[in-house]
Structure 1
């Protein structure tokens, strides 16, 4: 079964567009360079542009740790630290599947 990370970011208004670009770059790098990263979806609240929701799927806990230790994630985290007004992370285990149309 896959491990899921559900991450919600509240971004300071003056950094919203910078964060949007940086998180997209981070996700693309994870999908391209991390064999254990199977899915990385980024959503943004249409009613609140400063609220982002990530849904990430990894093969196992080791793949999550590889992501956290990756150069691109470390660069993203350092770059965006001061942009974040709030963050929550939930770890769950995927028990079912669906397909995207």
Structure 2
């Protein structure tokens, strides 16, 4: 199992648009990628511009395929102007 956590900080003015885009990205990942078993999107109730992702893939190769997918590239390109900060961490289960 390969786990990815991401914390996004987006422009406050783009919070609603980012929410829509990231929820669509989660759905695309779960439906189009057999090796993606979880893609949770969590929103900070006090700061709508702060978003936390929790993703589970079969292995690192599956995550690399995710990063190479057309739907990820489209998402990344679309949200890039809104992102103020992005922190990505990866984890493995031993």
User: Would the TM-score normalized by the shorter structure come out above 0.5?
Assistant: yes
Shorter-normalised TM-score: what interval? over 0.9
Tell me which residue corresponds to 1:84.
Answer: 83
Which is higher, the Rg of structure 1 or of structure 2?
A: 1
Structure 2 length as normaliser, TM-score? 0.97
Q: Structure 1: where are the runs of 5+ without partners? A: 96-101
4+ long deviations beyond 2 Å: none
Aligned length, in residue pairs: 94
In structure 2, the residue corresponding to 1:21 is in which secondary structure?
A: helix
Output the CA distance in 1 between the equivalents of 2:73 and 2:37: 19
Structure 1 length as normaliser, TM-score? 0.91
Q: Structure 2: where are the runs of 5+ without partners? A: none
Output the CA distance in 2 between the equivalents of 1:48 and 1:94: 31
